[in-house]
C-alpha cells in the first residue's frame, strides 16, 4: 500500500519534468524558427537592395585625370620642367591604371575584355551621335545613363524644327585609346563595375539642311572627345555616362 502511495506521489513530478522538457524543446524550436525567419527576411532585404541597383543612375566621377596630349605640351627646351612633370604624371597614371586592373582581377577573378569593350564603346559613340541628329533619343535609351538621356532630350528640343541634320565620322585620326579607368564599388553589390574613359580623335562631317530655305551647310572638323562609360564586367554591357 505504501509503495502504491509513493508511486502516485512521484507520478505528478514525472509529468511536471516531462512537461518542462517539452516546453523547453518547444521554445527552442520557436526560437530557431524566429531566427530563421529573421535571417530569411534580412537575406530577402539584401537581395532586393542588390536588385534595386541600376547602373543607369551612375554619373561621371569628379576626380578623373587625363594625361596631357604630346601635341599640347610646350617646347621641351623652353619649358623643361612642365614637360617633365607631364611625363611623370603620364607614367604614374599608366602605372596606377595597371595596378587597379591587377587588383580588380585578383578580387573578382574576371579577365578584362578590353578589345570587346573598346569596340562597344565605338559603336555606342556613333549610335548616340546619330540618335541626336535624328532626334531619336529613345533608340539609345538602354545604353546611356539618365543624365546623358536628359541632356540629349533637352538638346533635341532646342533644335529648330526646320533643321535636318546628317552626321558621320569620316576617319579616326588615331586609334581610340583607353586613357583612364576606375573600379566602381556599387552599394550592396560585389566589385563588378569599371568606369572606362576612352579618347576618340576623329574627323567628322555635319550637314545642316534648312527645309524652308532649302539651304545646306557642310562642316568638316577634327574633334577630340573623352567619353566615359560604365562597364558591367559580368555581362560586358557598356553604359555611356557622359564626357569630360
Q: Cell 535636318 sits at which residue?
A: 164
**Of 111, 149, 108, which Cα lies nearest the Cα of 132?**
149
**Of 226, 228, 195, 227, which Cα lies nearest the Cα of 112?**
195
Q: Where are the alpha helices (DSSP H) in the chain?
A: 2-51, 80-108, 114-133, 146-158
**Of 44, 50, 238, 57, which Cα lies nearest the Cα of 150?**
57
DSSP 96-144: HHHHHHHHHHHHH-PPP-HHHHHHHHHHHHHHHHHHHHTT-GGGGGGGB
pLDDT of residue 170: 96
pLDDT of residue 80: 81
pLDDT of residue 40: 53
**Of 191, 171, 174, 175, which Cα lies nearest the Cα of 183?**
191
Instruction: Give the torsion through C-alpha atoms of 71, 77, 83, 87, to 10 deg.
Output: 90
Asked whether the beta carbons of 193 and 230 are under 8 A apart, the reply is yes
pLDDT of residue 93: 82
DSSP 148-169: HHHHHHHHHHHS-TTEEEEEEE
pLDDT of residue 49: 44
What is the distance between the alpha carbons of residues 83 and 95, in angstroms, rounded to a whole number?
18
pLDDT of residue 218: 94
Reading the block at residue 88, the C-alpha cell is 611623370
pTM of the model: 0.72
- Which residues lie closer than 8 Å to 138 by C-beta, 6 or more apart? none
Tally of helices (H runs) and strands (E runs) in the chain: 4, 5
Q: Cell 623652353 sits at which residue?
A: 78
The 10s digit of each residue's pLDDT in 148-194 is 999 999 999 999 999 999 999 999 999 999 998 888 876 677 788 99
* DSSP class of 90: H
Residues forming a β-bridge with 232:
193, 237
Q: Cell 601635341 sits at which residue?
A: 71
Domains detected in the chain: 114-243 (3.10.450.240)
- Which residues lie closer than 8 Å to 216 by C-beta, 6 or more apart? 207, 208, 209, 210
The 10s digit of each residue's pLDDT in 97-145 is 888 888 888 888 888 999 999 999 999 999 999 999 999 999 999 999 9
Neighbours of 74 (CB within 10 A): 12
Amino acid at each position: 500500500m505504501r509503495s502504491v502511495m509513493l508511486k502516485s506521489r512521484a507520478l505528478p513530478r514525472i509529468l511536471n519534468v516531462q512537461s518542462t522538457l517539452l516546453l523547453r524543446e518547444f521554445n527552442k524550436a520557436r526560437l530557431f524558427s524566429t531566427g530563421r525567419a529573421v535571417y530569411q527576411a534580412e537575406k530577402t532585404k539584401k537581395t532586393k537592395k542588390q536588385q534595386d541597383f541600376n547602373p543607369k543612375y551612375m554619373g561621371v566621377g569628379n576626380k578623373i585625370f587625363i594625361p596631357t596630349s604630346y601635341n599640347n605640351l610646350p617646347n621641351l627646351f623652353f619649358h623643361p620642367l612642365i614637360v617633365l612633370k607631364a611625363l611623370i604624371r603620364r607614367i604614374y597614371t599608366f602605372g596606377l591604371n595597371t595596378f587597379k586592373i591587377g587588383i580588380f582581377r585578383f578580387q573578382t577573378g574576371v579577365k578584362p575584355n578590353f578589345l570587346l569593350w573598346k569596340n562597344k564603346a565605338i559603336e555606342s559613340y556613333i549610335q548616340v551621335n546619330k540618335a541626336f541628329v535624328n532626334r531619336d533619343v529613345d533608340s539609345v535609351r538602354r545604353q546611356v545613363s539618365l543624365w546623358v538621356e536628359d541632356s540629349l532630350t533637352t538638346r533635341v528640343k532646342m533644335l529648330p524644327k526646320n533643321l535636318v541634320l546628317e552626321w558621320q565620322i569620316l576617319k579616326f585620326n588615331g586609334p581610340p585609346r583607353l586613357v583612364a579607368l576606375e573600379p566602381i564599388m556599387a552599394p550592396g553589390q560585389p566589385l563588378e563595375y569599371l568606369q572606362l574613359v576612352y579618347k576618340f580623335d576623329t574627323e567628322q562631317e555635319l550637314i545642316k539642311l534648312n527645309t524652308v530655305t532649302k539651304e545646306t551647310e557642310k562642316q568638316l572638323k577634327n574633334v577630340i572627345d573623352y567619353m566615359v562609360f560604365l562597364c558591367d564586367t559580368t555581362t560586358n554591357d557598356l553604359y555611356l555616362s557622359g564626357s569630360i
